[in-house]
A and B are shown apart, each in its own frame.
Chain A
Amino acid sequence: MSRPPMSKRQSAAARPAVEWIVGALSCVMLAALIAFLLQQALSGDASPPQLSVAIEGIEHAGGGTVVRIAVTNDGDEAAAGVRVLAARAGAPDERARREIEFDYVVGHAVRRGAFRFADAEIQATDLDVGIGGFVEP
Chain B
Amino acid sequence: MARRTHPSPPDASRAARDFGRAAGGALIFSLPMLMTMELWELGFYLERVRLLALVLSALPLLVLLSRHIGFERTRGWRDDVLDSLIALGVAAAVCPTLLVLFGAIGFDTPPDEGVGKIAIQMVPAAIGALLAKSQFHAGAAGEAVEDESGDESGDERYGSELFLMGVGALFLGFAPTEEMMLISYRMTEWHALALVALSLALMHGFVFALEFAGGSEVSPDEPWWSAFVRLTLPGYVVALAISLYLLWIFARTDGMDMDGVLVATVVLAFPSAIGAAAARLIL
A106 to B256, Cβ gap below 8 A? yes
B196 to A23, Cβ gap below 8 A? no
Q: Which of B35-71 contact A (CB under 8 A)?
A: none
Q: List 30 A-B contacts (CB under 8 A).
A: A6-B221, A8-B223, A11-B221, A11-B222, A16-B154, A16-B158, A18-B158, A19-B154, A19-B158, A20-B229, A23-B233, A26-B237, A33-B262, A34-B193, A36-B258, A36-B262, A37-B193, A37-B262, A41-B193, A78-B186, A80-B185, A104-B185, A106-B185, A107-B257, A107-B259, A107-B260, A108-B256, A108-B257, A137-B185, A137-B186
B219 is an interface residue with CB less than 8 A from chain A? yes
The residues of A with any CB-CB pair to B shorter than 8 Å are 5-9, 11-12, 15-16, 18-20, 22-27, 29-30, 33-34, 36-38, 40-41, 46, 78, 80, 103-104, 106-112, 137
B142 is an interface residue with CB less than 8 A from chain A? no
Of the residues B219, B233, B257, contact of A30 by C-beta under 8 Å: B233
Q: Compute how far the CA of A15 lies from the CA of B236 in the bound complex, rounded to whole angstroms.
A: 20
A41 to B188, Cβ gap below 8 A? yes
A109 to B260, Cβ gap below 8 A? yes
Chain B minimum-CB-distance residue to A45: B188
Q: Which of B149-199 contact A (CB under 8 A)?
A: 154-155, 158, 162, 178, 181-182, 185-186, 188-190, 192-193, 196
Residues of B within 8 A of A30 (CB): 196, 233, 236-237
B193 to A108, Cβ gap below 8 A? no
Q: Compute how far the CA of A114 lies from the CA of B188 in the bound complex, rounded to whole angstroms.
A: 31
Q: Compute how far the CA of A7 lies from the CA of B155 in the bound complex, rounded to whole angstroms.
A: 23
Contact count A vs B, C-beta below 8 Å: 105
Chain B minimum-CB-distance residue to A27: B233
Of the residues A15, A22, A110, contact of B226 by C-beta under 8 Å: A15
Chain A minimum-CB-distance residue to B195: A37
B230 to A104, Cβ gap below 8 A? no
Residues of A within 8 A of B186 (CB): 78, 137
Q: A19-B158, A137-B182 are in contact. Are A46 and B188 (CB under 8 A)?
A: yes
Q: Which of B184-219 contact A (CB under 8 A)?
A: 185-186, 188-190, 192-193, 196, 219
Residues of B within 8 A of A27 (CB): 229, 233
Q: Compute how far the CA of A29 lies from the CA of B235 in the bound complex, rounded to whole angstroms.
A: 12
B10 is an interface residue with CB less than 8 A from chain A? no
B158 to A106, Cβ gap below 8 A? no
B234 to A22, Cβ gap below 8 A? yes
B158 to A40, Cβ gap below 8 A? no
Of the residues B155, B226, B257, contact of A109 by C-beta under 8 Å: B257
Residues of A within 8 A of B259 (CB): 36, 40, 107-108
Q: Compute how far the CA of A68 lies from the CA of B194 in the bound complex, rounded to whole angstroms.
A: 40
A41 to B189, Cβ gap below 8 A? yes
B237 to A29, Cβ gap below 8 A? yes
B9 is an interface residue with CB less than 8 A from chain A? no
Residues of B within 8 A of A137 (CB): 182, 185-186
B193 to A38, Cβ gap below 8 A? yes
Q: Compute how far the CA of A26 lies from the CA of B233 in the bound complex, rounded to whole angstroms.
A: 6
Q: Compute how far the CA of A26 lies from the CA of B255 in the bound complex, rounded to whole angstroms.
A: 28
B190 to A104, Cβ gap below 8 A? no
Residues of B within 8 A of A18 (CB): 155, 158
Q: Which interface residue of A7, A12, A27, A111 has the most chain B CB atoms within 10 A? A: A12
Q: Compute how far the CA of A24 lies from the CA of B229 in the bound complex, rounded to whole angstroms.
A: 7
Of the residues A15, A29, A36, A109, contact of B255 by C-beta under 8 Å: A109
Residues of B within 8 A of A12 (CB): 222-223, 226
B46 → chain A closest CB, angstroms? 16
